[in-house]
Amino acid sequence: MAIELHGYQYSVYSWIARLALHEKGKAFDWIEVNPFAEDIPASYLAIHPFKRVPALIHDGIVVYETGAITRYVDEAFEGRRLQPEEPRNRARCNQIISIVDSYAYWPLVRQVFSHGVFRPMMKLQADEKEFQRGLEAAPRILSALEDAAGEGRYLCGDGITLADIHLAPMIGYFARAPEGRDLLQKQLRLSAWWADFSKRATFMATSPRLPPAVR
C-alpha cells in the first residue's frame, strides 16, 4: 500500500515526518504543499483543516499532526522500533517531543531560523526583533532539553527514538544561525548528540536544500 506524504520542502515538521519514514526504510510519494500560499488546494484543506503540513495518507487513513504521524510510522511498519518500551525512557522520549512542539518550535525555528536565516536567504523582509526574541528564549529551552537528554548516544538511550527524530530538524535549522550554534555549544550533552546526529545519513538525506546564505 503506497504512502503519501504531503509536505512543504522547507517545513521543519515535514522534515521530521520524512526522517521517520527514512529511518523505517519506507518509500513514499511526496506531494508538495505550501501551507503559506494563498491558494492552498481545497483538496488539501479537506485533509488538514488547520492548513498545516505535513499530512500522511496510507491505506485509507489520513493522519495529520507530526507526533501522530511519526508514531503511526513507527507502529504500522516493520523495522527498528523508534519508541522505547521501558517506561522511564518512553516518558523521556514523549517529554522531549512535547517540549519541542510546545516550547522549542516557535523560538528556534519561527523566530531564530526564519528571521535570522530563511527570510534573509529568500530576500524576504525579516524582523530583527523577532530574531532577538527567539535568541532570548532559546537558552531556557536548550537547558531543559539538556536536562531531559539521557547519557547514551541518543536522547533516550543507546538507540535512536522519535525524540531524536523530532528534535534534530529543529536544531538543524536553529544551528544554521551562528548565534544559535553559539547557544547550543553551551549545552555539552546536546552538542555532543548534535555533532553525532547531524552526520547521520538519513538526516543528511532528508535535509531541505536551501539556497546559499546571504547573511
Ligand X SMILES: N[C@@H](CCC(=O)N[C@@H](CS)C(=O)NCC(=O)O)C(=O)O
Q: How far is CA 91 from the centre of its chain?
A: 19
User: CA end-to-end span of the chain, whole Å?
Assistant: 44
Helix count and strand count (H, E) for the chain: 10, 4
Q: Which stretch binds ligand X (CB under 6 A): 7-15, 126-134, 164-172, 177-185?
A: 7-15
Q: According to CB under 6 A, which one of 4, 65, 146, 179 is a site residue for ligand X?
A: 65
Helix, coil or strand: residue 7: strand
For the bound state, the minimum distance from the C-beta of residue 152 to ligand X, rounded and expressed in Å, comes to: 26
Q: According to CB under 6 A, which one of 6, 22, 35, 121 is a site residue for ligand X?
A: 35
* Beta carbon nearer to ligand X, 93 or 187: 93
12 binds ligand X (CB under 6 A): yes
Q: According to CB under 6 A, which one of 47, 53, 162, 168 is a site residue for ligand X?
A: 53
Residues 41 and 48: their CA atoms lie apart, in Å, by 11
66 binds ligand X (CB under 6 A): yes
Q: Cis bond leading into 208, ω under 30°?
A: no
* Beta carbon nearer to ligand X, 36 or 215: 36
User: Residue 39: is it exposed, middle or buried by C-beta count within 10 angstroms (0-12/13-18/19+)?
Assistant: exposed
Distances, alpha carbon 8 to alpha carbons 13, 24, 32, 95, 203, in Å: 9, 21, 5, 26, 17
* Beta carbon nearer to ligand X, 66 or 187: 66
* Beta carbon nearer to ligand X, 70 or 161: 70
For the bound state, the minimum distance from the C-beta of residue 89 to ligand X, rounded and expressed in Å, comes to: 22
What are the residues binding ligand X (CB under 6 A)? 11-13, 35-36, 51-53, 65-67
